[in-house]
Structure 1
């Protein structure tokens, strides 16, 4: 294996562990808690890029599916992943793909923020559709319970991820662990 591939695999494992450690801690405000998983996923895609960041997110979901208590509120298993709020967990994958892809292909922090907002919107869309289907809620009720209260928190997490992600990228590049990609302007 190439040195770069081993480094990416190790980095992916470390960031999957970070997601697993941060995710169980949440603030319950209704049927869907304010979780720190998306902040950790934002950082993963910021540092690893869309491919490996999404893989680290997938590893997190598989670890939770296997029964380790890594979901919000220290939940785990298929019942949590396929339950009413499971669509938000599954929505982390398109969130990582879209947000990470835009981060990888642009230099502007405003575009990075837009990418993370679009990714989060996809997570909301998938999660809300799943919540309505599983719980028998109307779209309006689901939005009121599962989306509207989270928008300010998620915007704050995006700001934190961009600031911290940018700083960590710079420090890792200085240490020789991260190579900046050249992006056309």
Structure 2
């Protein structure tokens, strides 16, 4: 039992580190940059499952909140969570929860998993758009055009990568005894 909890904590820490490493890698294209955070979160869902991936996402946000440069563009601090992109960041928690619930049940069914991630990604899209519009004093349509439209295709590519690679990663980690067999 204790060994299982230690393994859980270790995997949560490792995947939180992966998110923290991939999250800052970004391309600024406007008020919302292209980043690898959601790809890291999609992969985390396959490795950890819903509950533990939500914990890893929460830890990532807490690490950034205290000021470590884990958000896009190597930024961090509370101003990032209350700034124009804060809604997207907070939305990642709910995205991870919803996508995780679908992927947990259908991880070998790549199309269903992809659709689950696609649907779940609209949570940070909407939360982020509302917050961007409010904090930047923009119309909702302008915030949507700046914070969602440029990202749909590249996010779908990330979902495809996760839907194809996630089950393979999960199976290989299971085969070597690092994850319980699904």
TM-score (norm 2): 0.96
d(CA) in 2 for partners of 1:29 and 1:165? 28
d(CA) in 1 for partners of 2:111 and 2:151? 21
d(CA) in 1 for partners of 2:109 and 2:43? 16
Task: Provide the residue aligned with 1:108 in structure 2.
Answer: 109
d(CA) in 2 for partners of 1:108 and 1:59? 29
**1:161 deviation in Å?**
1.1
Q: Which runs of 5+ in 2 are unaligned?
A: none
After superposing on structure 2, the runs of 4+ consecutive aligned residues of structure 1 that deviate more than 6 Å are none
Task: Provide the residue aligned with 1:157 in structure 2.
Answer: 158
Task: Provide the residue aligned with 1:53 in structure 2.
Answer: 53
Task: Provide the residue aligned with 1:27 in structure 2.
Answer: 27
The superposition leaves residues 75-105 of structure 1 with CA deviations (integer Å, 9 ceiling, x where unpaired) of 1000011111111111110110000110112
d(CA) in 2 for partners of 1:162 and 1:178? 18
**Count of aligned pairs between the two proteins:** 181
TM-score (norm 1): 0.95
Task: Provide the residue aligned with 2:14 in structure 1.
Answer: 14
Pairs within 5 Å for 1:1-185: 2-106=2-106, 107-181=108-182
- My pick for the range that moved more, 1-10 or 153-162, is 1-10
d(CA) in 1 for partners of 2:128 and 2:89? 7
d(CA) in 2 for partners of 1:169 and 1:105? 13
**1:139 deviation in Å?**
1.2
d(CA) in 2 for partners of 1:37 and 1:97? 15
Q: SS state of the match for residue 89, structure 1?
A: helix
Superposed CA RMSD in Å reads 1.0
Residues 142/83 of structure 1: CA separation in 2 closer, same or farther (3 Å cut): same
